[in-house]
Structure 1
Amino acid sequence: MQFLSKLNLKTLSTLLACVSLTQAAGSEQDAIASPDSAVVKLTSKTFSKFLSENPLVLAEFFAPWCGHCKALGPQYSEAADALVDRNIKLAQIDCTEESELCQEHGIRGYPTLKVFRGEENQSDYEGPRQAEGIVQYMVKQSLPAVSLIEDSAELASFIDSSLTPVVVETGSNLNATFYQLSESNREEYSFVQTKDSEFASKYGDEKILLFTKEFPEPIVYSGEDESAEAIAEWLKVESLPYFGELDGSTYQKYTSANIPLAYLFYNTPEEKEAWRESITKLAQEHRGKINFVGLDASKFGRHAENLNMDQEFPLFVIHDGVSNKKYGYPQDTELTTEAVEEFVKRYDAGEIEPIVKTEEIPEVQENAVYKIVGKTHDAIINDDTRDVLVKYYAPWCGHCKRLAPVYEELAEVYQSNSKASKKVRVANVDATLNDVDVEIQGYPTLILYPAGDKSNPIVHQGGRDLQSLADFIKEKGTHGVDIDALEEDNEVEAEADEPITEDEQVDAEEEAKIQIEQEDEAAGHDEL
Structure 2
Amino acid sequence: MMFVNIKLCIFFLLVAYSTANEEEDDSDEIVLSLDSSSFNDALEQNSFLLVKFYAPWCGHCKALAPKYQEAARILKEEGHNVRLAKVDVTENSDLGKLFDIRGYPTLKFFRSSVSIDYTGGRETNDIVEWIKKKMMPSVHSITTDEELEDFKKDEEQVVVIAHFEDEELKNAYQTVADKLENLKFGAIKGDKVKEVKNGEILMYRKGELSKQFTIENKDDILRLVFAYSLEAVTEFNQEAAGNLFQGIIHDFHFLLISKKHDDYSKILREFEETAEKFRAKIVFVTLDTSLEENARILEFMGIKIEDTPTSRILRFGETGVLRYKPADGQSFVDFSNDFIDEKATLDLKEQPLPEDWDKNPVKQLVASNLFKVVLDEKKAAFVKFYAPWCGHCKQLAPVWEQLAEKFADNENVVIAKIDATLNEFTNISVTSFPLLKFWPMGANKVVVDYSGDRSLKELENFVNSKLKTETDEPKSDSATHEEL
What TM-score results when the alignment is normalised by the length of structure 1? 0.68
Higher strand share: 2
The alpha-carbon distance between structure 1 residues 350 and 482, as it changes in their structure 2 partners (threshold 3 A), is closer
Alignment of 1:185-224 (within 5 A): 185-195=179-189, 199=193, 201-212=194-205, 216-222=209-215, 224=216
Amino acid in the other structure paired with 1:180: T
Residue of 52, 57, 82 corresponding to 1:60: 52
The alpha-carbon distance between structure 1 residues 436 and 118, as it changes in their structure 2 partners (threshold 3 A), is farther
Counterpart of 2:115?
122
Shift, 1:23, TM fit? 4.3
Check if 1:279 corresponds to 2:279.
no
Counterpart of 2:323?
325
Check if 1:175 corresponds to 2:170.
yes
DSSP-derived class of the 1:396 partner:
coil
Alignment of 1:328-339 (within 5 A): 328=326, 330=328, 339=331
Alignment of 1:6-405 (within 5 A): 6=7, 15=12, 19=16, 23-24=19-20, 26-27=21-22, 29=23, 31-35=24-28, 37-84=29-76, 85-99=79-93, 101-117=95-111, 121-161=114-154, 163-173=156-166, 174-183=169-178, 185-195=179-189, 199=193, 201-212=194-205, 216-222=209-215, 224-226=216-218, 229-255=219-245, 256=247, 257-268=249-260, 271-299=263-291, 300-312=294-306, 314-322=308-316, 323-328=321-326, 330=328, 339-360=331-352, 363-364=357-358, 366=360, 373-375=366-368, 393-402=386-395, 404=397
DSSP-derived class of the 1:273 partner:
helix
DSSP-derived class of the 1:274 partner:
helix
Give CA deviations for 1:9-55 in whole Å, capped at 9, x if unaligned.
9xxxx6378756x643x34x2x23234x4112223343344334433
Give CA deviations for 1:162-219 in whole Å, capped at 9, x if unaligned.
6443322225333333323333x142432211237564x3342342333346974332
Counterpart of 2:468?
none
Instruction: Please give the alpha-carbon distance, in whole angstroms, between the structure 1 residues aligned to 2:139 and 2:374.
Output: 48
Check if 1:430 corresponds to 2:394.
no
The alpha-carbon distance between structure 1 residues 179 and 243, as it changes in their structure 2 partners (threshold 3 A), is closer
The alpha-carbon distance between structure 1 residues 326 and 380, as it changes in their structure 2 partners (threshold 3 A), is farther
Give CA deviations for 1:396-445 in whole Å, capped at 9, x if unaligned.
13344345556778x779979x9xx99xx99765332122567767x537
Indicate conservation of the 8 Å contact 1:40/1:91, yes or no: yes
Sequence identity percentage: 27
Shift, 1:311, TM fit? 0.9
Amino acid in the other structure paired with 2:59: G
The alpha-carbon distance between structure 1 residues 158 and 41, as it changes in their structure 2 partners (threshold 3 A), is same
The alpha-carbon distance between structure 1 residues 353 and 48, as it changes in their structure 2 partners (threshold 3 A), is same
Shift, 1:136, TM fit? 1.6
Instruction: Please give the alpha-carbon distance, in whole angstroms, between the structure 1 residues aligned to 2:94 and 2:405.
Output: 26
Higher helix share: 1
Give CA deviations for 1:75-130 in whole Å, capped at 9, x if unaligned.
111112223342322222234444554355443433222223366x3332221222
Structure 2 unaligned segments of length 5 or more: list them.
Answer: 466-470, 479-484
Instruction: Please give the alpha-carbon distance, in whole angstroms, between the structure 1 residues aligned to 2:143 and 2:230.
Output: 28
The alpha-carbon distance between structure 1 residues 267 and 484, as it changes in their structure 2 partners (threshold 3 A), is closer
Structure 1 unaligned segments of length 5 or more: list them.
Answer: 486-528
Instruction: Please give the alpha-carbon distance, in whole angstroms, between the structure 1 residues aligned to 2:459 and 2:94.
Output: 15
What TM-score results when the alignment is normalised by the length of structure 2? 0.73
DSSP-derived class of the 2:85 partner:
strand
Amino acid in the other structure paired with 2:186: V
Shift, 1:357, TM fit? 0.3
Indicate conservation of the 8 Å contact 1:261/1:319, yes or no: yes
Instruction: Please give the alpha-carbon distance, in whole angstroms, between the structure 2 residues aligned to 1:202 and 1:459.
Output: 62
The alpha-carbon distance between structure 1 residues 130 and 18, as it changes in their structure 2 partners (threshold 3 A), is closer
Counterpart of 1:514?
none
Give CA deviations for 1:249-288 in whole Å, capped at 9, x if unaligned.
2224433311242324233398543334322221122233
Counterpart of 1:491?
none
The alpha-carbon distance between structure 1 residues 458 and 211, as it changes in their structure 2 partners (threshold 3 A), is farther
Instruction: Please give the alpha-carbon distance, in whole angstroms, between the structure 1 residues aligned to 2:103 and 2:397.
Output: 19
Instruction: Please give the alpha-carbon distance, in whole angstroms, between the structure 2 residues aligned to 1:468 and 1:96.
Output: 23
Shift, 1:350, TM fit? 4.7
DSSP-derived class of the 2:280 partner:
coil
> In angstroms, what is the RMSD of aligned CA positions?
4.8
The alpha-carbon distance between structure 1 residues 186 and 252, as it changes in their structure 2 partners (threshold 3 A), is closer
Instruction: Please give the alpha-carbon distance, in whole angstroms, between the structure 1 residues aligned to 2:382 and 2:92.
Output: 20
- Between the two proteins, the alignment pairs up a number of residues equal to 449
DSSP-derived class of the 2:165 partner:
coil
Indicate conservation of the 8 Å contact 1:64/1:70, yes or no: yes
The alpha-carbon distance between structure 1 residues 214 and 158, as it changes in their structure 2 partners (threshold 3 A), is closer
Instruction: Please give the alpha-carbon distance, in whole angstroms, between the structure 2 residues aligned to 1:324 and 1:103.
Output: 24
